[in-house]
Structure 1
Amino acid sequence: MGYASAMKMIGLIGGMSWESSAEYYRILNQGVRDRQGPTASARCLLWSFDFSEIERLQHAGDWSGLELRMVDAARRLEAGGAGILLICTNTMHRMADQVQAAVAIPLLHIADPTARAIRARGFRRVGLLGTAFTMEQDFYKGRLRDRHGLDVLIPEAEDRATVHRIIYEELVAGVVTGESRAAYRAVIARLVARGAEAVILGCTEIMLLVRPEDSAVPLFDTTALHAEAAVAAALADQSA
């Protein structure tokens, strides 16, 4: 018999950017340690892209090329023994359905634990911050709306451009400035003024910049919620 563990192997499609992937790794391992004891850690495999290639294809609109790369990574992780799959970025959930169709293991969609946490707090109208792709296209907002009944607000065009620029020019490079924090704080305030009861940090790098004190309403960090849901899923059968 081969080696077996009751903890499922978590497959991570990361490197988009590695700054947020490092946070995934930290949260996964802390979550397992908190549940299983001081020497326990997460069983995981990481496929880490060169983000410069991904970023170039995103801005060129080559979503078919990106889909091919994501499907390839998912299949490699499945072949390596992963029992759960995570795409460690909100934007690349644009091809979540295609990735799920390519593998037999479950893909844990980042929007679902985020929406469940929001609904559990009783909120229905939420602001969404993320890349321009996430804010403007329907693959993310539509899932929040259609599957979870949320009313999603996005910033106005100028604010969207600011949020997107800071992500790609600063946060993916690990650059965090007070000026950019103030800019995000102002964007959040304008969403709240339009009726947002909470705000989704819908890019896995934003948590590097924005803190709870930067918002008058609760913030929902997709990175943490996604990783915590993965820990729960990986350990779900341990008592069986």
Structure 2
Amino acid sequence: MHIGLIAGIGPAATDFYYRGLIDRHAAAGIPLDLTMAHADVREMSRNLVAGNPTRQAEIFAGLVQRMKGAGAEAAVITSMGGHFCVKELTAISPLPVLNAIPAVDAALAKRGLRKIGILGTRAVMESHLYGGIPSVEVVPTEALDRVHDTYVAMATIGHVTEAQRQVFFEEGRRLRARGAEAIMLGGTDLFLAFAGHDPGFPVIDCADIHVDAIFATSAR
């Protein structure tokens, strides 16, 4: 299947999805057929903060139309934050949208988790991944503003500082202390902070689950 990636939201997240799909297809000996269209992470952030999913869905739909013209058969939003408009996009998209949220909920249920914490944008943390993970109880993140601002700063430039890493690790430990069995990385770019590091608690990466689901679909 020819996959269309809405990319650029942010640059590190695009790299994560692209490399992940390359690696999975190569390991399976299956050719990867893929087209990307660039979205502006700053524009998306403005619409997210303004609570304007309809406008962002219209922007994404225009990019999906371009990818459809290039032969894509399904579209992907390469950002958990970008899923704030996935319902609106699905309603108007020229192609089927491979939604991350049902895949994440299924993965959480399969692992038998009962209570988790979430790190990511304010919208993802407050909405519990847009209300899409009913299989688990979510421990509220108390440092919402600090985690959100740190995440956005990191995602916008595609690079993490040690101080930013410690913000995520400290809040993850607090969530664990308050009963979370694992911490869900609800922001795609969080791999920048966690890859190759032991935070001292179990981690579930939403983006990795999404890439697995995309591969399973594209390999059919």
Task: Determine if the TM-score, normalized by the shorter chain, exceeds 0.5.
Answer: yes
Amino acid at match of 2:14: S
Alignment correspondent of 1:132:
122
Q: Which structure 2 segments of 5+ residues have no match?
A: none
Residue 82 of structure 2 aligns with which residue?
92
- Partner of 1:214 in structure 2? 199
CA contact (8 A) 1:74 1:99 kept: no
How far did residue 188 of structure 1 move? 0.4
Q: Is the counterpart of residue 17 in structure 1 residue 7 in structure 2? A: no
Structure number with bigger Rg: 1
Deviations 1:114-167 (A, max 9, x none): 2222222221211111101111236x241111xxx22122311xx111111111
Q: Distance in 1 between matches of 2:20 and 2:198?
A: 21
Work out whether 1:123 is the aligned partner of 2:113: yes
2:208 maps to: 224
8 Å contact 1:172–1:205 — kept in the other structure?
A: no
Q: Measured at CA, do residues 115 and 63 of structure 1 come closer, stay the same or move farther in structure 2, by a change above 3 Å?
A: closer
Q: Secondary structure at the match of 2:79?
A: coil
Contact 1:141/1:152 (8 A) holds in 2: no
Query: Following the alignment from structure 1 to structure 2, what is the Cα–Cα distance between the partners of residues 73 and 111?
Result: 21
CA contact (8 A) 1:78 1:103 kept: no
Q: Distance in 2 between matches of 1:63 and 1:133?
A: 12
Deviation of 1:19 after TM superposition, in Å, equals: 1.4
Q: Is 1:204 aligned with 2:204?
A: no
Partner of 1:102: 92
Percent of residue pairs identical: 26
**In 2, Cα distance between the equivalents of 1:195 and 1:75?**
44
Instruction: Structure 1 unaligned segments of length 5 or more: list them.
Output: 1-7
Is 2:132 the counterpart of 1:143? yes
**C-alpha deviation, 1:31, in angstroms:** 0.5
Distance 2:53 2:85 in 1: 8
Paired residue secondary structure (1:13):
strand
1:65 Cα shift? 2.1
Partner residue in 1 for 2:148: 164
TM-superposed CA distance for 1:50, in Å, is 2.3
* Amino acid aligned to 1:213: D
Instruction: Give 1:33's aligned residue.
Output: 26
Residue aligning to 1:154: 140
Aligned equivalent of 2:217:
233
SS at the partner of 2:36? Answer: strand
RMSD: 1.9
Whole-angstrom distance in 2 between the partners of 1:28 and 1:75: 22
Q: Distance in 2 between matches of 1:89 and 1:154?
A: 21
2:43 corresponds to 1:53 = yes
Letter of the 1:227 counterpart: V
How many residues were matched structurally? 219
2:33 — aligned with what? 43
SS in 2 for 1:127: strand
Report the alpha carbon displacement of residue 72 of structure 1 after superposing the two structures with TM: 1.8
Could you tell me which amino acid in structure 1 is paired with residue 92 of structure 2?
A
TM-score (norm 2): 0.91
**Aligned partners of 1:129 and 1:73: how far apart in 2?**
28
